Amino acid sequence: MAETRLIKKYPNRRLYDTAISSYVTLEDVKALVLDGVDFEVVDAKTGTDLTRTILLQIISEEEEGGEPIFSSELLAQIIRAYGGNMQSLLTSYLEKSMELWADQQRALRERARTFMDASNPMAVLSQITEQNLSMWQQAMDSFRSEQGDGSEDEGNGDGPGGGTGGGSAGGSSRGGGKR
């Protein structure tokens, strides 16, 4: 596998791609992301890793133009999550959700190719739906199992996967119900 590409950021705010010995723009760095190239951006003077900062700049520019992904309400909720005891939980949840979304997009592209040749399009759509539901269930089960170590210590159990089932909605597990 190829080495991680090194991009240096200089005090004049310019980015220098050491692999091609040339200055690059944020648009060029975005192209690296889209092409799946591993890279690291470091401060040329201190060596501090600036990759996240540059990626956030790219996201910010994308959000300003065109149709944004993040609504104001979503951004406010993310800001509220910083510093709270659930910050790592949100990070894990968002990462797993994006992985699942990417997997679904790949599967959808593959299915689209076979869909054109399918004799029964509804059967193909039904199969895709069942697979997506299965993947979401697996992701949520994995998410719950990872969070299971600390979720019991969080208090009332009202969070994801922390319910006790003892509320009035949905019926009781006591008494002569069918099993």
DSSP of the chain = -PPPEEEEE-TTS-EEETTTTEEE-HHHHHHHHHTT--EEEEETTT--B-HHHHHHHHHHHHHHSSS-SS-HHHHHHHHHHTTSTTHHHHHHHHHHHHHHHHHHHHHHHHHHHHHTT-S-HHHHHHHHHHHHHHHHHHHHHHHHHHHHHHHGGGSSS-STT---S-SSTT--SSSS---
Whether residue 89 sits in one domain with residue 145: yes
Residue 12 placed within a domain:
yes
pLDDT given at position 179: 40
pLDDT in tens, 1-15: 568 999 999 998 899
Residue 156 placed within a domain:
no
Whether residue 80 sits in one domain with residue 56: no
Counting the structural domains of the chain, the total is: 2
pLDDT given at position 118: 60
pLDDT given at position 115: 63
pLDDT of residue 113 exceeding 80, the answer is no
Q: Confirm whether pTM is higher than 0.85.
A: no
Range of the domain at 102: 76-149
Whether residue 137 sits in one domain with residue 80: yes
pLDDT of residue 177 exceeding 50, the answer is no
